[in-house]
Amino acid sequence: MAEDFSVIVLASDLGVDARPFLTRSDEVDGQENWHDCPQYLGDEDFSDLDLLQFFTLQGLDKSGNRIFRIVGKYFPARVVSAERLKKYIFHKISNEYPEGPFCLVYMHSTVQSDDNSPGITILRWIYEDLPSDIKDRLQVVYFVHPGLRSRLVIATLGRLLLSGGLYWKIKYVSRLQYLWEEIKKGEVEIPDFVKNHDNVLEHRPLTDYGIEPDPFQLTEVQSSSFSINRYENRWIS
């Protein structure tokens, strides 16, 4: 008798890694929880990742949640494996803030998908593998400077690729001024390039949607159509 199967179609231009969908559910269920195995975690040295400062503990938001700041541009996706990233995140949360509610402030400013982003399916896999108490403690994810592509991917595939618990915790923050409505200034460190990017978006809001409005200010150049027509009429005569 044939086994039951399902078909999932993923758009290739969205850069979605399909490998997590190819793992059999019975194989996953048969595996032990990796975070319960001391020999699995071992005494791995994460000092090199600490130096990058892409995942750091900060202050509090206005709801009293401790802040873990994530700076996407600081993460070298090409050289850090998904497995090591998962261990590092668990290591940071377990050692630096083992109890109490927390939130994530993810800064997507100037992130390059190939260089800085592990992919939405990898993030889903990491989140689903975290202990249930850590997932329950996560209250909200502030997504700072989301680009058009990120919005589209999450809007179209978010409910499929992200569990309901994580999907509904994402809160878009298009400008830093809106972040200060949730977090007092000084509670989270903002890198200079994030501030500069925010200023660009403030003066050219269409950049949010991947549109660069008149970058060379051509609309300020006086039209030459009158002078051209004048010379054309002269040649005709």
Sheet holding 102-107, edge to edge: 55-60, 66-71, 102-107, 138-144, 170-173
Token pair for 111: 């992130």
- Residue of 134, 120, 167, 149 lying closest to 210 (CA atoms): 149
pLDDT value of position 225: 45
Q: Quick one: residue 110, left, alpha or beta (phi over 0 = left, psi -120 to 50 = alpha)? A: left
Token pair for 150: 């990120």
Burial class (CB in 10 A: 0-12, 13-18, 19+), 230: exposed
pLDDT value of position 61: 97
Burial string for 81-120 (b: 16+ CB within 10 Å, else e) reads ebeebbbbbbbbbeeebeeebbbbbbbbbebebeebbbbb
Distance of CA 202 to the CA centre of its chain: 20
Work out whether strand 170-173 and strand 55-60 pair parallel, antiparallel, or are unpaired.
unpaired
For the chain, 237 residues long, the average pLDDT of each consecutive 10-residue run is: 51 47 45 50 85 96 97 92 94 95 94 81 86 94 88 74 79 94 96 94 70 48 46 50
pTM of the model: 0.72
Length of the chain: 237
Q: Quick one: residue 210, left, alpha or beta (phi over 0 = left, psi -120 to 50 = alpha)? A: left
CATH class as words, domain 46-209: alpha beta
- Residue of 31, 30, 69 lying closest to 52 (CA atoms): 69
